[in-house]
Structure 1
Amino acid sequence: MTILLKNILVVEDDATLRTVIEDKLTKSGYTVELAVDGKDAMDKLHAELHPDLILLDVIMPRKNGMEVLEEMHSDINLSAIPVIMLSNSGQTADKDRAKELGAKDFLMKETTDMEEILEKVQALIGGGMPMSKQDGGVPSKSRFTIDLNETVPAQNADAKKGQRLLTVEDDQFLRKLFVQKFTTAGFTVKDAEDAKEAFSILENWKPEIILLDLILPDISGFEILATLKKDERLKNIPIIILSNLGQKQDIDRAMSLGAEGFMVKASFTLEEITEHVQKVLAAHATS
């Protein structure tokens, strides 16, 4: 007997978040289509993609989530598709407008985790399967396998226990994932959403490694990197750039300013980022 899996369209402009959401839904028994922004989503929907549900970001380039909802609401072929909004904005006006346009739920990225998203999806369209029933109880391994609860191997636990990590990332949902992942891996983690908060933390706390985004709301990651490398107390802390930027000039600039490494978010899983951090710390411990 052929089982038709429920299909979900994920509309999210952040590549790392798309990967995290896609992985969770796929491992939970759904098929997933991806769109990088609202225009991409509407092009797919008009090309006869008819998902069982849409997870829709609000703030996106070209066409935002509200504009997508408005267009779907006025289209008899699309208006019945259930939509869950995912946003960094918690404005009452946004929530009310989304509800008027037919959204089934409005989730704040800052306070929502993947388990809650999955529960909302299952409540609306059913389908999926518990982790214990997938592949005989063993989660499948793929390029995008992300397990936030994976424990640190016993032989490495003592070396990493309590090592201090600062992550500077303005996306609240992604920052929360980093904190959860590295805390689970045995690190002591502090997080900042911008340069002001990062420098405030660094006044009284010295991390052993820093994960630094480049595009931030106040000053850029490049400026933070340059400032830290001129500070006698902090200049030897390894800094890994973790960004959506990936142009050669961006990589060259970061490395010339003293970055330890440069990782493009869309190219690495959380597990791979964690492993790289551990390798950098191990190298510095023996140098």
Structure 2
Amino acid sequence: MENTPIVNEPGALAGKKVMWVEDDSFLSDIIARKLSAEKCLLVHTKDAEEALPLVGTEMPDVIMLDVLLPGMNGFELLTKLKSDPKTKSIPVILLSNLGQESDVEKGKSLGADRFLVKATLKLDEVIGQIKEVLAGAKE
């Protein structure tokens, strides 16, 4: 029998630093509450320009990154993160209302660990995806 990580274990995210890059205040508030309930350390920014220098100083365990952001978009930030030796190993989960296969493939080709479509997303699924990525599961 194969050893598989238990990702639904209570407290699995306790103390983990999650960076959330999202310009939608309503969604950010909901996610912040949920991640706080999971005992995560949350670093939130509203755009990629603010996030880029913070990633290097905060060194989050995982980054939740919206694709459609003002200024630099999520794909551009992802490219910069994956080309920097200091940040390239940080897992990135892209979130977007762009659900076309070409967008998903683009995100994965740029180095995203997951691509989640906001319109069909449940809050518990976001938490589950974070846990899986941190446990090392690849999609």
TM-score by length of 2: 0.88
Whole-Å separation in 1 of the counterparts to 2:98 and 2:130: 19
- Equivalent position SS for 1:232: coil
* Match in the other structure for 1:214: 67
Corresponding letter in the other structure for 1:240: I
* Match in the other structure for 2:3: none
Whole-Å separation in 2 of the counterparts to 1:186 and 1:240: 19
Corresponding letter in the other structure for 1:231: D
Which of residues 248, 252, 256 in structure 1 aligns to 2:101? Answer: 248
Is 2:45 the partner of 1:178?
no
Alignment of 1:130-149 (within 5 A): none
- Equivalent position SS for 1:283: coil
Aligned length: 130
Which of residues 227, 235, 238 in structure 1 aligns to 2:88? Answer: 235
* Match in the other structure for 1:156: 10
Which of residues 186, 197, 200 in structure 1 aligns to 2:53? Answer: 200
Please report how far the alpha carbon of residue 196 of structure 1 lies from its aligned counterpart in structure 2 after TM superposition.
1.4
Please report how far the alpha carbon of residue 156 of structure 1 lies from its aligned counterpart in structure 2 after TM superposition.
3.2
Corresponding letter in the other structure for 1:156: P
Is 2:118 the partner of 1:265?
yes
Alignment of 1:7-46 (within 5 A): none
* Match in the other structure for 1:24: none
Q: Please list the CA deviations of residues 71-107 of structure 1 after superposition, one character each: whole Å capped at 9, or x if unmatched.
A: xxxxxxxxxxxxxxxxxxxxxxxxxxxxxxxxxxxxx
* Match in the other structure for 1:224: 77
Structure 2 residues not aligned, in runs of 5+? 1-7
TM-score by length of 1: 0.44
* Match in the other structure for 2:4: none
Query: Could you tell me whether the CA contact under 8 Å between 2:22 and 2:69 is conserved in 1?
Result: yes
Query: Could you tell me whether the CA contact under 8 Å between 1:210 and 1:240 is conserved in 2?
Result: yes
Is 2:130 the partner of 1:282?
no
Look at both structures and tell me which one has the larger radius of gyration over its CA atoms.
1
Deviates more, 1:248-257 or 1:195-204: 195-204
Corresponding letter in the other structure for 2:13: K
Is 2:19 the partner of 1:166?
yes
Structure 1 residues not aligned, in runs of 5+? 1-152
Please report how far the alpha carbon of residue 180 of structure 1 lies from its aligned counterpart in structure 2 after TM superposition.
1.3
* Match in the other structure for 1:132: none
Corresponding letter in the other structure for 1:163: K
* Match in the other structure for 1:113: none
Whole-Å separation in 2 of the counterparts to 1:280 and 1:267: 19
